[in-house]
Amino acid sequence: MVAVGPTAAHPLDALVADEIRSAVAILRDSERVGDDVLFAMVTLDEPSRDTVAGHKSGDPVDRRIRLTVLPGPEASVVEAVVSLASGEIVQWTTHPGMRPALLFDDSYRAILALRDSPEWQEAMRRRGITDFEKVQIDPWPTGNFGDPLEEGRRIARCLSYYRAEPSDNGYARPVEGVLATVDAARGEVLEVRDLGVVPLPSDSGSYLPEDHEPLRAGLLPLEIVQPEGPSFALDGNLLTWQHWTMRVAMEPLEGLVLHGIGYHDGTLRTVLHRASISEMVVPYGDPGPIHGWKNAFDVGEWGLGRMANSLSLGCDCLGEIAYLDAVFCGEHGTPYVIENAVCIHEEDYGILWKHNDLHTSRTEVRRSRRLVVSSIATVGNYEYGFYWYFYLDGTIQHEVKLTGIMSTQALRPGEEPRYGTRVAPDLAAPFHQHLFCARLDLAVDGPVNEAYEVGFEPAPPGEDNQWGNAFRQRVERLESELAAQRDVDPASSRHWRFVNPTVTNGLGTPVAYKLLPGATPTMLARPESSIGQRAGFARHNLWVTPYAPEERRAAGDYPNQHVGGDGLLRWTAADRSLVGTELVAWYSFGVTHSPRPEDWPVMPVEYCGFHLMPVGFFDRNPTLDLPPSAEHCR
């Protein structure tokens, strides 16, 4: 395990528990908040690009901590920034009508209140359930549907599942037809709807090994051994490997955040100033009253950092592993640690390049190896693994691994789902999407970059295309924010290129990185719908904005119960110029999940993501100096 240092030596050092304690104490001592204030989030107030660039080793660091607090049970958030150096509050902003990510405290309050509710208990009894402790209650953020119950309150909508035994898979037995709306901040049940009894499904949905014996045999041990240790080095949160360097942090909402990603090539050449998953949303496609409102923003309503797992060696990660802990603040102002929240290791990745010279029979082949920085979040029924890969040839990849248990609905006898798939005899999983938005704070060989769209098209027939085979590349600069709202187009091999126009390579062309999209949808919900407004970032795959440090999260800072229109939709409406400035690229990607029987009862990993690849960033293959792996390659 790697410990973070006791005092910040670098502006981007990970937050430590003592800093959280100091920040909370400064806020409390100011007497601007009551004793019962709740701390939704305490984070490093990240220094600007300029502050980081200007920092010299040994310089004093004025750490500023941002505290997002709830003064009371109403819908109102205060953000305070404190300076640890001066011990003072340096910024105080009230956000009336905004809600933070669903508090753990609020969730517990909602569960306890609902379990005590006579209407809900009556609904359970109608289904033959009398032991209410056997009901799993899942509170969800509610969205915004203009319901008067939602106004001015922090609301959770609750679904119920039956577990005869504590080890049961609750999602196998949804208590269908019952939906409760709870004022989670006040622990007050506002409404219990019962749309009629549907029998509990028959399949137990167990994924536990003891229920699947005999377990298969034949897989012999596979050990990853690095007898001399891994090839990366970790100094605090500064990670270096081969020519790569970066700082690794865990943020409560975005989870993994990588800063200062650069490549040593004689000098340190930056690629990204900051990279993270800024938001994600899971809109469900079922229009019915029980499931039609479901659409979880798993960053802004839950928090991929807050929900991060403690990873375990040999299970989540295999080989020579280094872990980093996440240090967060509890809702009552006490710091806590998620141990082993970040896994760092190396993976063999097949061949990097090869040529067999048929004239001489000499073969040259090099192994590809990648550095992996990952974390896994459990958000209710789903698991999301976030993997950043760094390759020897300058490629960066982000991959999301989707697994866990699908959100389910019980079927009436003979009912076939219209907006979902039957995955067990009387159980369906609705169609839904998982849509992520990566925020890529670009710094390709320096701060000022330009964005281009690149695609291919057939050349017109004519004298210079006599066989009709010609096709040409179209490269167009994206001049402004509205022009930079773009979608994937695999037929034209469309991708996007981020260029530093002031730096040229040895061939005289400007250095660049390209964003290579994967197969990905955009949001299927209608743009004018509630979710279409609230998750506007998912209407397009690419967005580019001029760098603005406060523009951090694709759906805005407070998507929970938000009416919509915030984030990328609001910022890009100004159609700011993207020329001659520092840029942020936002890439929305994901999957449309058509549930399969094979995804039940637990879903084998599905993958999605993107690559960032050097394009003329180097003058040639930068791995010609890579030695053959002599120990294996004879």
Closest CA to 236 of 2, 36, 552, 399: 2
Smallest separation, CB 141 to Cu ion (Å): 17
In whole angstroms, the minimum distance from the beta carbon of 527 to Cu ion comes to: 22
Judged by beta carbon, residue 178 or residue 282, the one nearer Cu ion is 282
Instruction: Compute how many residues bind Cu ion; rule: CB under 5 A.
Output: 1
What's the min distance (Å) between Cβ of 604 and Cu ion?
12
Smaller CB separation from Cu ion, 171 or 232? 171
Residue nearest to Cu ion (CB): 593
Helices 104-115 and 118-126 sit at what angle, rounded to 10 degrees? 60
Write the CA distances from 512 to 15, 263, 394, 458, 509, integer angstroms. 33, 13, 11, 25, 9
Q: Which residue has the tokens 């260029």?
A: 499
Q: Check 171, 284, 382, 452 and give the catalytic one.
A: 382
Q: How far is the CB of 440 from Cu ion (least distance, A)?
A: 24
Q: C-beta of 519: minimal distance to Cu ion in Å?
A: 16
CB of 404 to Cu ion, least distance (A): 8
Tell me how far, at minimum, the Cβ of 535 lies from Cu ion, in Å.
16
Chain centre distance of CA 298: 8
Q: How far apart are CA 131 and CA 140, in angstroms?
A: 23
Nearer of residues 274 and 593 to Cu ion, judged by Cβ: 593
Coil vs helix vs strand at 26: helix
**Residue 540 or 593 with smaller CB distance to Cu ion:** 593
By beta-carbon proximity to Cu ion, the closer residue of 479 and 606 is 606
Q: Residue 338: enclosing H or E segment and its boundaries?
A: strand 335-357
Torsional sign, CA 550, 553, 559, 560: negative
Shortest distance in whole angstroms from residue 112 CB to Cu ion: 29
Instruction: Please report, to the nearest 10 degrees, the dihedral formed by the alpha carbons of residues 410, 412, 417, 423 taken in order.
Output: 50
Closest CA to 33 of 83, 75, 68: 68
Q: Whose Cβ is closer to Cu ion: residue 306's or residue 593's?
A: 593
Q: Which amino acid is it at 234?
A: L
- Closer of 259 and 593 to Cu ion (Cβ): 593
382 is catalytic: yes
Q: Among 391, 281, 431, 376, which Cα is nearest to 618's?
A: 391
**Nearest CA among 582, 593, 585, 497 for reference residue 537:** 585
CB 76 within 8 A of CB 38: no
For residue 601, whether the previous peptide bond is cis, meaning omega lies within 30 degrees of 0, is yes
Site for Cu ion, residues 216 to 275, rule: CB under 5 A: none
Minimum separation from the CB atom of position 432 to Cu ion (A): 5
Full DSSP string of 192-211: EEE----PPPS------GGG
- Nearest distance from residue 593's CB to Cu ion, in Å? 3
Among candidate residues 296, 301, 303, 323, the one with its CA nearest the CA of residue 252: 303
Cβ 435 to Cu ion, closest distance in Å? 11
For Cu ion, the binding residues in 563-622 under the rule CB under 5 A are 593
User: With b meaning 16 or more CB within 10 Å and e meaning fewer, what string describes 12-51?
Assistant: bbbbbbebbebbbebbeeeeebeeebbbbbbbbbbbebee
The residue among 433, 435, 477, 139 whose CA lies nearest residue 277 is 435
Q: In angstroms, rounded to a whole number, what is the distance separating the alpha carbons of residues 41 and 24?
A: 11
Q: Which two tokens stand for residue 230?
A: 């891994």
Q: Is 325 a catalytic residue?
A: no
Q: Give the residue with the Cβ less far from Cu ion, 253 or 379.
A: 379
CA distances from 77 to 67, 194, 335 (A): 10, 33, 20
Residue 66 and residue 100 in contact, taking contact as beta carbons nearer than 8 Å: no
Our CB check for Cu ion shows the closer of 424 and 443 to be: 424
CB 603, CB 506: distance < 8 Å = no
User: To which residue do tokens 């969730």 refer?
Assistant: 107
Pick left, alpha or beta for residue 577 (phi over 0 → left; psi -120 to 50 → alpha; otherwise beta): beta
Name the residue nearer to Cu ion (CB basis): 186 or 596.
596
The catalytically annotated residue of 138, 298, 441, 599 is 298
Task: Provide the minimum distance between the beta carbon of 372 and Cu ion in the complex, in angstroms, as a whole number.
Answer: 23
Q: What is the DSSP letter of 361?
A: T
Nearer to Cu ion by Cβ, of 304 and 343: the residue is 304
Buried b / exposed e along 350-361 (16+ C-beta atoms within 10 A): eebeeeeeeeee
The token pair that represents 213 in the structure block: 């014996």
Asked if 534 touches Cu ion (CB under 5 A), the answer is no
Taking the least distance from each CB to Cu ion, the nearer of 96 and 287 is 287
Residues that bind Cu ion (CB under 5 A): 593
Q: Cite the active site residues.
A: 298, 382
